[in-house]
Amino acid sequence: MKFFFYIIVLSFSSYSFASIKNVSPQKEEIKKISDLIIEKRNKILKLDASISSLEKDLGRKNNNYLLNVSKIKELENEIWTTQKNLQNAKKESKSLLLKVKEVFNKFVLNQIEGPEEELLERRVLQSVLEEKIENLKYTIKNYHEISKKLSFIQNRLNSYKKNEKELYEIILSLEQRKKEMASEYIESTYDKETMENQLLGLKSRVRKKEQLVEKASEKTVGIKLKLPLAEFKKVKKNKKGISFIPADKNIEAPQDGKVVYSGQLSTYGNLIIIEHKDQIRSVVLGEFLPSKKKGDIVKKSESIGTILDLTKEVYFEIRQKNKTQKISQWLESSSLNRVL
């Protein structure tokens, strides 16, 4: 009874819990992180190409904007010159108009009051008047042509200014897109580097576990046992025994052997002990209903009991010559991976 009580004390002492998902959760995690790194790397390459293309487009738009600004300045200078020409043409027209009026008045007076002897003078005045009128017509025509040119230049200037505004808005939009892409690029690069470091750490831990398994396998002498539970939610362990929170009701024989004890242990539940080769014994204790009795021969993985309550712990340990063994030295590598 003291031996059995010692087992119970071990099973309910404080251990650290470790969640068990499958046989090799770390390797699945490595694959998952590796896939995510590849996904991030592809995203970074696409962002890099998009940013490069965007910068080229932005460069072209900036060049167009500068050319447009230069053209606006050129047209503004041309408008200033044309306006000056228009003012000069207007002044010249007014001056010629006054001269025409002056010559015309002289001509009219000479025509009315002058004697016939002054016919030559009238003809001269008429000739001067005709010349002044022609000059005035030319100046007025020139004034209208300059006005049309000014209007044309002004329309072109308005068009370039409109284009300048549109280009400016496009450049602002492209700059914003570039800023967003650059931010996403930096974030993705950081995520990738973080995952790469995480992957390195995980690979290192897996390698250490594999080395522990290899080391434990080297120390193992004789037969190897499997865990009595195929499915479990949690496990807590120490150097001697393991306690499980079961996920399945079936309890299996850890290895071929003979049942040397099957029955209830006080208020702690039922106990089943199987003797294997090399004086190795497996011990299972908990709230379960044994399906084997003392003296029964069992095969590895054969059902030896049914768990009654999936919330209660099931304790498992390995003994040799009635001495508790370090369990990692006797477990199969597949079972050892699940509890490391």
* pLDDT tens-digit series, residues 91-128: 887 887 887 787 777 766 666 555 555 666 667 767 77
- Would the pLDDT of 7 be above 70? no
Residue, of 53 and 4, whose pLDDT is higher:
53
Give the separation between CA 257 and CA 294, rounded to whole angstroms: 12
- The maximal CA–CA distance of the chain, rounded, in angstroms, is 169
337 vs 65: which has the higher pLDDT: 65
69-92 in b/e form (b: 16+ CB < 10 A) is eebbeebeeebeebeebbeebeeb
Q: Does residue 129 contact residue 121 with C-beta atoms inside 8 Å?
A: no
Q: Once rounded to an integer, what is the mean pLDDT over residues 149-163?
A: 91
What number of H helices and E strands is found in the chain? 4, 12
Contact 85, 212 (CB under 8 A): no
pLDDT above 70: residue 158: yes
Domains of the chain from N-terminus onward? 35-202 (1.10.287.1490), 222-339 (2.70.70.10)
Question: For the residues 172-182, what does the mean pLDDT come to?
Answer: 92
Residue 304 tokens, joined: 């030896």
Retrieve residue 47's tokens.
Answer: 């962002």
289 — pLDDT class (breaks 50, 70, 90): very high
Residue 130 has pLDDT above 90, yes or no: no
Q: What does the pLDDT average to over 8-27? A: 43
Q: Provide, rounded to the nearest whole percent, the portion of the chain with pLDDT above 70.
A: 85
The mean per-residue pLDDT over the stretch 52-74 comes to: 92
- Residue 16 confidence (pLDDT): 33
Q: Tell me which of 292 and 219 has the higher pLDDT.
A: 292
For residue 148, pLDDT over 60 is answered with yes
Q: Rounded mean pLDDT of 24-52? A: 88
285 and 301 in contact (C-beta within 8 Å)? Answer: no
Both structure tokens of 100:
């025409």
Among 133, 132, 129, smallest CA distance to 108 is for 129
Residue 72 has pLDDT above 70, yes or no: yes
Please give the residue that has the higher pLDDT: either 100 or 150.
150
Q: 261 pLDDT band (50/70/90 cuts)?
A: very high
Q: Does pLDDT of 25 surpass 70?
A: yes
Mean confidence (pLDDT) of the chain: 83
Q: For 266-285, what is each residue's pLDDT tens digit?
A: 778 899 999 999 899 999 99
Cα of 72 vs its chain's centroid, Å: 43
In this prediction, residue 3 carries a pLDDT of 39
Per-residue model confidence (pLDDT) at position 208: 82
Instruction: Identify the pLDDT of residue 185.
Output: 92
Element (DSSP H or E) covering residue 119: helix 119-219
**SS3 of residue 275 by DSSP:** strand
Signed CA dihedral, 217, 222, 228, 230: sign only: positive
Long-range contacts of 290-295 (CB under 8 A, 24+ apart): 290/262, 290/263, 292/259, 292/262, 293/259, 293/262, 294/259, 294/260, 294/261, 294/262, 294/263, 295/258, 295/259
Look up residue 116 and give its DSSP letter: G
Q: What are phi and psi of 115, to 5 degrees?
A: -75, 170
The answer to which of 48-57, 155-164, 330-339 has the lowest mean pLDDT is 330-339
CA dist 130 and 138 (Å) reads 12
Asked whether residue 300 carries a pLDDT value surpassing 90, the answer given is yes
How confident is the model at residue 5, as a pLDDT?
37
Is the whole-model pTM more than 0.75? Answer: no
pLDDT for the residue 141: 86
* Cα(75)–Cα(80) distance, integer angstroms: 9
Query: Which pLDDT band holds residue 213 (cuts at 50, 70, 90)?
Result: low
Rounded to whole angstroms, the Cα distance separating 308 from 269 reads: 10
Question: Is the pLDDT confidence value at 245 over 90?
Answer: yes
Give backbone dihedrals phi and psi of 317, rounded to 5 degrees, phi first: -145, 165
